[in-house]
Amino acid sequence: MIYERPYYYDKFHCIAGDCPMTCCAGWEVDVDCASREYFLSLEGPLGDELRATMQPTPEDEDMAFFPLTDEGNCPFLDDQGLCRLYSAYGEEGFCQTCSEYPRYFGVTGSHQQIDLTLSCPEAVRIFFADTTPITFSVSEDIMEGEELTDEEEMQLLDLYQWRDALMRKLTAFRGTTSELLQLLCQQTELKDCPCDLKDIGELYRLLSSTEELDGRWRDALNKISRLPDGKTAFSPMDQEPNAICLRLCQYLLFRYSIDIFYGSSREDILRLMIRSLMTILLIYHSGWEASDAHSCRAIWERGASDTALPSPEMIRLMDATLLFSRQIEHSEDNVELLKAL
């Protein structure tokens, strides 16, 4: 098996009680087959509650999920923000989703891509702690992956060649954020560029139709709706090189280009990258601010980081990235919306 991961991956450790967010709210928790079996075998009141709460996944009867409460939380989140299953059963009480998050592992044939999801504030802190282009490490072992047909192998090779060529362009890029968006729009695959900075209305309409996963999304949308159309919506920051925007493009390319193997087009991936970066910038420029308790700034205030406190602007960009990821990246439907023509 060949493993690819960004260099920052190994720096992640959950900061648990110092975390300003919870990963137990906003999205349904998928329960893998082994955890489902384990949960079904448990006795006592918690076992009964698990059997009553767990719902079968329509597409796969071996899998299950925990539906959210009316408040949008995991039903096993307690008043102190702790997991009742972890408190009762230790590590075994965690299903695969909970023990891996915010790490993700995508296997295609004999390739596995590994990364952190930017919906976790500590992952965002690590991501923003460096401003050099992301480098990726590749390692290999004797584990066998799933067998692919010759045609599928060719498809995979083709998409990796495309991804790596674009990644090289991004790594060498030194222009402004506006020019970065233009570079993506100028890729030959893209016929209609979705990054018309003069018309943010179309993107706003798309964002308004996403399924709401984060309760703060509506507030951010309201603020975005008050932005003036046109280039004034994009402050001088976009007219200067911004290393974080470049890193975000690399993150999106690494994460989503594999979707081409599963039916997306190159054009879809480029549209998703452009719209995702523009969404983060729109949230940032709208003046939306996370509450003190839910801001990435809390990580420094709680002493969970040994690096210097970033500028208020950088904290706002971190919070905008976190909100984008929590709202968009945990819903396949939302991701597909940003890919669509």
| Beta-strand relationship, 60-66 and 2-6 | unpaired
Stretch near ligand SF4 under the rule CB under 6 A, chosen from 109-117, 120-128, 225-233, 278-286: 120-128
* Closer to ligand SF4 by Cβ: residue 103 or 223: 103
* Closer to ligand SF4 by Cβ: residue 190 or 322: 322
14 lies in the binding site for ligand SF4 (CB under 6 A): yes
Instruction: Please report how close the Cβ of residue 321 comes to ligand SF4 at its closest, in angstroms.
Output: 14
Stretch near ligand SF4 under the rule CB under 6 A, chosen from 8-16, 156-164, 202-210, 265-273: 8-16
Task: Compute the distance between CA of residue 338 and CA of residue 341 in angstroms, rounded to an integer.
Answer: 8
Contact present, 96 and 38 (Cβ < 8 Å): no
* Closer to ligand SF4 by Cβ: residue 14 or 129: 14
101 lies in the binding site for ligand SF4 (CB under 6 A): yes
293 lies in the binding site for ligand SF4 (CB under 6 A): no
23 lies in the binding site for ligand SF4 (CB under 6 A): yes
**Could you tell me which of 24, 27, 31 has the C-alpha nearest to residue 65?**
31
21 lies in the binding site for ligand SF4 (CB under 6 A): yes
Task: Compute the distance between CA of residue 335 and CA of residue 210 in angstroms, rounded to an integer.
Answer: 9
What is the number of alpha carbons within 13 Å of residue 299 lying toward its C-beta? 27
Beta-carbon contacts of residue 335 (< 8 Å; ≥ 6 apart): 256, 272, 328, 329
Instruction: Please report how close the Cβ of residue 174 comes to ligand SF4 at its closest, in angstroms.
Output: 32
Stretch near ligand SF4 under the rule CB under 6 A, chosen from 119-127, 244-252, 266-274, 332-340: 119-127
Torsion, Cα 12 13 17 18, to 10 degrees, reads: -40
120 lies in the binding site for ligand SF4 (CB under 6 A): yes
**Residue spans of alpha helices (H) in 75-176:** 84-89, 96-100, 121-128, 150-172
Binding site for ligand SF4 (CB under 6 A): 14-16, 19, 21, 23, 101-102, 120-122
